[in-house]
Amino acid sequence: MLKITKSIRSVVAGSAMLLAAGASLITETAAAAEHNWRFSNLYSRGTAFGEVYESLATNIETLSEGRIKVQILYSGEGVGSAGLLGAVKSGLVTMGAPFQSMHAGELPAGVVEIGLPGGTSDTDELYSLFHEKGWDKVLEKAYGSQGMVWLEPYIQPPVYVITKKPINSVADFKGMKIRAPGAYGKFLRNLGASPVSLAWSEIYTSLATGVIDGSIGSNMIDHRDGNHVEVAQYMYKLPLAGAQVLPIVVNRNAWKKLPEELKAAVRKATEMHAADQLRLSKKWEAEAVAEMESKGLKWSPEPSDADKAAWKTAGAGLFDEYAAKDKYSKQLIEILKKTSN
């Protein structure tokens, strides 16, 4: 992942130079590529994060000196968000950037990996958890057990809920239909809401037509890029999670075909991608909030002490619940509990 304060400048600088050099190199060598990969992600064309995935593909091609060619598939282009993990397992696509909460039944450990409600927003703490405390070893085995190679994860900003009606207290969540997959849905169910699992590309229409009353985004940028404020103008002040950590995964059979130098090139590209995600998402988050506020976004009142207590209680028990899902989830939770003590 990234030791944020020490390495991000050099990694980002390297990414910029590679992107500048990459276009001409890729054009010259695409026809001679030894490995042709299909890379599926969660976002639509033209979105901010979609462009970051483009830079990941470019860096893989450049670092491999054109020996790996990457075709990007955006949301809805052949593979739906709910089918992304299965597509990587089967080899339908070679590489994927899944939203783990969409795959809670397939890979329970991924829901723990992304960050249970109430998790930290401290990037150095997250780095330590993944690369010093042992989460990386557990996740390599968890994804490996399903035919995938787990590569460098990346951090995205906090998760907030946007709704069509104002939330003046947590009691207002009762009875609301909110797009919130995985642990986020369980958290909101504890507040009386009815969670719904939908792909990101379905949020706008579902809000506009009344299929749902509100939605989480992976972050504020998602809400902005999805134009959600046009159909839902209220944001609750307490985040469901302080940050999200998401992986890049590769089909294991495709990975095994790579010589060691190309494996190293792909790993390096995902490290650069993680640095790009963190740097840009912080910048974009501030811009997204300002832009949505200019279009009418309204924040809830400051939560009361009782609301904050209810919010905390809603997350209580999720550790034990997810630890019981499978052995990998249990191992991750055990590490998390030791780290928290």
Contacts of 14 (CB under 8 A, 6+ apart): 272
Domains and CATH numbers, the chain: 4-154+244-284 (3.40.190.170), 161-241+294-340 (3.40.190.170)
Q: What ranges in the chain are assigned the alpha helix state H? A: 4-29, 48-63, 84-90, 108-114, 123-131, 135-144, 182-189, 203-209, 220-225, 252-256, 260-294, 305-315, 318-323, 327-340
User: 72: which strand partners?
Assistant: 39
Q: Is the pLDDT of residue 28 over 80?
A: no
Over residues 304-310, the mean pLDDT reads 94
DSSP state of 300: P
pLDDT tens, position by position, 178-220: 999 888 899 999 999 999 988 888 999 999 999 999 999 878 8
- This prediction has a pTM of 0.78
3-12, 67-76, 230-239, 315-324 — which is least confidently predicted?
3-12
d(CA 196, CA 65): 44
Residue in this structure with the two tokens 């829901």, named with its chain if needed: 111
Token pair for residue 272? 């650069």
The CA angle 43-44-47, to the nearest 5 degrees, is 85
pLDDT tens, position by position, 100-136: 988 988 999 999 999 988 778 888 899 999 999 999 9
Q: pLDDT grade, residue 19 (50/70/90)?
A: very low
Residue in this structure with the two tokens 């042709």, named with its chain if needed: 36
Token pair for residue 50? 């979609």
Q: Is the pLDDT of residue 267 over 60?
A: yes
The whole-number pLDDT of residue 15 equals 52
pLDDT tens, position by position, 136-187: 999 999 999 999 999 999 998 888 999 999 999 999 999 999 999 888 899 9
178-182, 248-252, 271-275, 337-341 — which is least confidently predicted?
337-341
